[in-house]
Structure 1
Amino acid sequence: MKTEPYREAPYLRRAYVLGHPIAHSLSPALHRAAYAYLGEANLEYDRRDTLPDDLPAIMHGVRHPDGTEEAPYIAGLSVTMPLKTAVIQYCDELSETARVTGAVNTVYPRGERVLGDNTDVIGIVNALRHAGLKPDPERDEPAVIGGGATAISALTALHKLGYRRASVYARSLHKLGSVQEAAERLGVQLSTVALAEFPAEQKARRHNPVISTLPARAADDWAPQLADPAGASDPAGASDPAGASNPAGASETADRPVLLDVAYNPWPSVLASAWEASGGAVVSGLEMLLYQAVEQVLLFTDRTLQPAELLGLVNAMCAAVDLPPRASVS
């Protein structure tokens, strides 16, 4: 395949996080730390406030860069809301994960083709594993709270972890068509339940794991109903301000229901605090953001790392957002 001259000018490389609003995104901190660790000193990463109408010009730049300061080679794009479906039409090829979820959060060139992927799924998988989840599909039934695009990624992550049945709790059950379609594609048996019933259902059914895809503070009104201090386990595993209840993934969390709250600001959320009061283990969405960014970095740089180097990369990124270091990577 032809290699264009501009791909040999690393000092002109750029990557961006696209979305709206984007000013508070932590992606630049994660990516810049990663490229510094990898010695990619000439790969810059910036925020770029973007709406769907802005995509044609940006994607033209991905496909036809001039290799100048005004039109640099774009090594990759991190795509956030409201662009995760709108960007699909500009991709030549989608990963299987992107096809199943119907969403793209990662765009990158390979030769003359533009590829789209969804690294949110592996981000969720690795965040749950970091929290100490030991998947037991025969015993446990997981749950997803919320019915938007992230709920589909959550369902896909649960499928990758081996689960073949799940419950989805949402405020508007009649708007779950895309979630139900994804479940059918995955072969996951899906139960849909009104969101208001979650506290009572959780106490009765003890879903594990649970992934909340709700926006920040959206669970504040009903989350305190989950708290059950009398039945809580030893509080020694209280959550780190930005990470999991048990960052090392030790056996203490093995039999505790795990909650991933994708919202991480403010942290701990009311939902996370109530979950811990009921004896569960918690991991914040910052862990998901970390692990999905790791995959993006590897795609943008077209690298395959040995375990020791991958661990160094992850820990450099952890340090950039005040997450505790990892002892190993799976």
Structure 2
Amino acid sequence: MANFFTVPYLFVLLGGISDFSLDFINSYSNKSKYQSNYKAFRAMLNKKLCLTIGDPVFHSKGPTIKTMSCQLLGISDEYSFIPYQTDLNIDGEIAKLKQFIIDNNVAGMSVTMPNKQAVIQMCDEIDESTKFMNAVNTVAVKNGKLFGYNTDWIGVVGALKGVTNLDGKKIAILGSGGTTSATLYGLTKDTKNITVFNRTIEKAKNLAEKFGVNYDLIDNINVENFDIIINTTSVGFDNENESPIDTSKISAKNIVFDVIYKPMETKLLRDAKQNGAEIIYVINVLLYGTFPQVKFYTGHELSQEQMKKISDFFAK
């Protein structure tokens, strides 16, 4: 069990974070010695490759969670999980990624910001729920075709229901992007007592009307009118002093959670905790949303006991 919770990212497999590993991940299209050396290395290991794509991405815990899952499932010798930094909204990046998938034994991709909508262009098929959300966070590669799914909503609902009953709760959702859409998709299965807040009223209106909920400008939010506050914006990312809303009136009656993972405890969460609110870290959302991805990639499903083992590790 000593090696159970290891992190076999590409740069670990190659002996540490190095110019070799980072250059390969971000400059794979160059037909260099790096690419040929890595192909030979992975051919020796005979592993399928699963990517986590985003920008930034190297801090993501997704590859670690999936690696731990495969170790528990007894299939860790079949898969390698690595981060791959890219912004698919930039011209040429989709073509590069497609070529990488063709050239390598890629089994799937986990998709993070800012790629959840742009990646849809790459998919041959997406399921009905994903079409409705207009956001993909999971891509499975089967027989050369890319199939898009979304497990973000499973993560959000699972994390919330782990601490509270949604019956009668008033929910404020901050944001209007792909994660917002997935959050609304999941929560509106149980309640419509939701208000979407955004800086741009038109974006809030479009989402709210799509899901049959309320909307308003984020500057108009009164947190005292809500039980649950969910931040799906990027405000606070990599900035410990930024919050999307005034936190002074958050109180012990509130449950607050933030989808931002860097820092794990944002100003919004830090202030909410100081004010007595119950807080939910994004790692809980990530865990609930990542476990289904493992099944999409591998065809193997984690047991409740196995999921608890991984959750307990991150709760330490």
Alignment counterpart, residue 157 of structure 1, candidates 179, 183, 186: 186
Q: TM-score, normalised by structure 2?
A: 0.75
Alignment counterpart, residue 166 of structure 1, candidates 167, 184, 194: 194
Distance 1:224 1:103 in 2: 29
Distance 1:74 1:37 in 2: 21
Per-residue deviation, residues 280-312 of structure 1 (Å, max 9, x unmatched): 32101121112211111111111234xxx3331
How far apart are residue 167 of structure 1 and its match?
0.6
Gaps of 5+ in 1: 1-8, 66-70, 233-255, 325-330
Q: Secondary structure at the match of 1:224?
A: coil
Match of 1:82 in 2: 114
- Alignment of 1:58 onto 2:97: yes
Distance 2:258 2:50 in 1: 27
Alignment counterpart, residue 82 of structure 2, candidates 42, 46, 61: 46
Distance 1:26 1:259 in 2: 21
How far apart are residue 128 of structure 1 and its match?
0.8
Match of 1:310 in 2: 304
Alignment of 1:261-300 (within 5 A): 261-300=258-297
Note closer, same or farther for the CA distance 1:89–1:265 as it changes in structure 2 (3 Å cut).
closer
- Alignment of 1:209 onto 2:228: yes
Per-residue deviation, residues 39-72 of structure 1 (Å, max 9, x unmatched): 122200111112322223433554xx4xxxxx33
Match of 1:239 in 2: none
Match of 1:117 in 2: 149
Q: Secondary structure at the match of 1:25?
A: coil
Question: Percent of aligned positions with the same letter in both sequences?
Answer: 25
Note closer, same or farther for the CA distance 1:61–1:314 as it changes in structure 2 (3 Å cut).
farther
Per-residue deviation, residues 182-219 of structure 1 (Å, max 9, x unmatched): x42x4x232x2222232xx221x2x2332111322575
Note closer, same or farther for the CA distance 1:54–1:314 as it changes in structure 2 (3 Å cut).
farther
Distance 2:139 2:268 in 1: 33
Note closer, same or farther for the CA distance 1:87–1:267 as it changes in structure 2 (3 Å cut).
closer
Residue 208 of structure 1 aligns to which amino acid in structure 2? Answer: D
Instruction: Name the count of aligned residue pairs.
Output: 265
Match of 2:127 in 1: 95
How far apart are residue 38 of structure 1 and its match?
1.3
Q: Is the 8 A contact 1:12 1:42 kept in 2?
A: yes
Gaps of 5+ in 2: 1-43
Alignment of 1:170-249 (within 5 A): 170-176=198-204, 178-180=206-208, 183-184=209-210, 186=211, 188-190=212-214, 192-198=215-221, 201-203=222-224, 205=225, 207-215=226-234, 216=236, 217=239, 219-220=242-243, 222-228=245-251, 232=252
Alignment counterpart, residue 14 of structure 1, candidates 49, 64, 67: 49
Q: Is the 8 A contact 2:137 2:149 kept in 1?
A: yes
Distance 1:209 1:286 in 2: 18
